[in-house]
Amino acid sequence: MLRPALLSGLAWLFLAGASAGDPNARVSRVDPLSVQDDDFARHRDPAEWKGLSVTRIEFREERAAWRLWRIANTRHPRGPLWFVPHDNENAGFEAGLAAVRSYGGTLIAVDAGIAEDGARMNRAIDYGRPVDPNRNFDTALPGYARRILADLSPGMPIIALHTNARGFDTGESRCNQSDPSGSGVISIRYCDEVLIPSPSRARAWPWDDDDTVAFATYRTKRSPSTAFCRDAMVAADFNVVQERVVASDGSLSNYAVLHDLDYLNFETLDRGDGAEGLAEGRRRLVHIIDRALAMCAPKVRRKR
């Protein structure tokens, strides 16, 4: 007999797959060598796109217009669903492109270029404030989540890739408040009632950086050990941020755990958009991906 959680996940996958042939979206195949976008402009070598297909997906929902890039490994379509929600986190795109080539599956990247290319927030809106693409996973806006998760294969994980600014707002943290103040909350030295850090002990690369972390998300009233891959990542001495979900904040991490989907989120410090900074961010994220998949999703194997 299937567990209720598994049934919930299968039901969601059915709904996600139903977005194929979506009449309310404009879907067009594109040539990645001619796409006018900063992410694609860094990759004009045809060899990088061998075995990949690129599709532009555009749609409107409620007050926002959206554009997604769907990059699929045509030789190995069954694989993880890679997700890069923020258009300004360029090392995340670099790592996602490398990962979809190596492991197969599909990469979905949100493009803020309808209004402003390379921006974090979606400003292509009719009214109100700009929309954070990673705070729009809302049951009241089902089209957004359905289209992003449409290529999720049963039994495969979702892997989100991010970069972040250095440090954290010490005024918001319940620990390490004497640290130099930074921006945001994505640091292994930040903690509150939702984010509970489990820092690396050895601090070996890539965990020598406080801003390079893996998330393990679990439901409130459950143990952190119920988070997908949490115990393995802690045992492997990752910087693990344990995220306790009470009610969804609109992020994919919260949405996934509430729909019983296997989800991983890897983040590293934004080292700038120069060649060296992007390369280092990509190396760190790809290294983490390799280790985590080998431990927690061994059926996902490197294809090249």
Q: What pLDDT is attached to residue 82?
A: 98
Q: Residue 15: is its pLDDT beyond 60?
A: no
pLDDT in tens, 30-47: 999 999 999 999 999 999
Q: Residue 17: is its pLDDT beyond 90?
A: no
Give the mean pLDDT of the chain: 93
Nearest of 145, 131, 158, 171 to residue 265 by alpha carbon: 158
Q: Which residues in 235-271 are b (16+ Cβ under 10 Å) and which e? A: ebebbbbbbbbeebeebbbbbbbbbbbbbbbbbbbbb
Determine which of 20-29, 88-97, 177-186, 293-302 has the lowest per-residue pLDDT on average.
20-29
Token pair for 226: 């119920």
Please tell me whether the overall predicted TM-score, pTM, comes out greater than 0.85 for this model.
Answer: yes
Token pair for 167: 């440090």
Mean pLDDT of the 93-116 span: 97
End-to-end CA separation in angstroms for the chain: 37
Mean pLDDT of the 63-84 span: 98
Give the burial class of 125: count Cβ atoms within 10 A of its Cβ; 0-12 exposed, 13-18 middle, 19 or more buried. middle
CA 30 to chain CA centroid, Å, is 23
pLDDT in tens, 211-252: 999 999 999 999 999 999 999 999 999 999 999 999 999 999
Mean pLDDT of the 48-60 span: 98
Largest CA distance in the chain: 54
Is the backbone peptide bond immediately before 199 cis, with ω within 30 degrees of 0? no
**How crowded is residue 38: how many other Cβ atoms within 10 Å of its Cβ?**
16
Q: Residue 16: is its pLDDT beyond 50?
A: no
Q: What pLDDT is attached to residue 299?
A: 95
Share of the chain above pLDDT 70, in %: 93
Between 43 and 4, name the one with better pLDDT. Answer: 43
**Bridge partner list, 198:** 240
Q: What pLDDT is attached to residue 184?
A: 82
Q: What pLDDT is attached to residue 13?
A: 41
Share of the chain above pLDDT 90, in %: 90
Residues with Cβ within 8 Å of 288's Cβ and at least 6 positions away in sequence, in order, are 206, 212, 214, 238, 266, 268
| Pairing mode, strands 240-245 and 213-219 | parallel
Mean pLDDT of the 107-128 span: 97
On whether the CB atoms of residues 91 and 163 are closer than 8 A, the answer is yes
For residue 21, what pLDDT band results from cuts at 50, 70 and 90? low
Q: Residue 18: is its pLDDT beyond 60?
A: no
